[in-house]
Amino acid sequence: QVQLAESGGGSVQAGGSLRLSCAGSRVAFSNYSMGWFRQAPGKEDEGVAVIDSAGTTGYADSVKGRFTISKDNVENTLHLQMNSLKPEDTAMYYCAAHPYGLYGVVRGVSLFPFRGQGTQVTVSS
């Protein structure tokens, strides 16, 4: 069974930065599509960023230019660098994996079959 574990969440002021990480086991990041999605109270799940097996990335319009997704296929880790954070970025952030390596649609990340337990990000104004 694929296992994913997020870390790096926390509380920051608007304009600050955080770097989320996701460590995977029983999964080859080089073959999977990987992504981040977030859940905020009262809102629909939102795919934030995706990276496929070829390294092609995609972002939600709400984070484009501020967030950067990357992965290390050797270490089996996924990262999300979040800059210029806004209060509306406050949410639980989840790492997710899909065995089809060329799934590059960011909107679908919340439907990926494997996900971690999440890490909370809180941005204050």
Tens digits of per-residue pLDDT, 14-33? 999 999 999 999 988 999 99
The torsion region of residue 76 among left (phi > 0), alpha (psi -120 to 50) and beta comes to left
pLDDT at position 60: 97
pLDDT at position 13: 98
Token pair, residue 92, equals: 């639980």
Band (pLDDT 50/70/90 cuts) for residue 90 is: very high
Residue 66 scores a pLDDT above 90: yes
Band (pLDDT 50/70/90 cuts) for residue 69 is: very high
Residue 97 scores a pLDDT above 90: yes
What proportion of the chain, given as a percentage, has pLDDT over 90? 91
Amino acid symbol at 73: N
Alpha carbon distance 115, 109 (integer Å): 10
Alpha carbon distance 83, 71 (integer Å): 17
State the average pLDDT over residues 59-76. 96
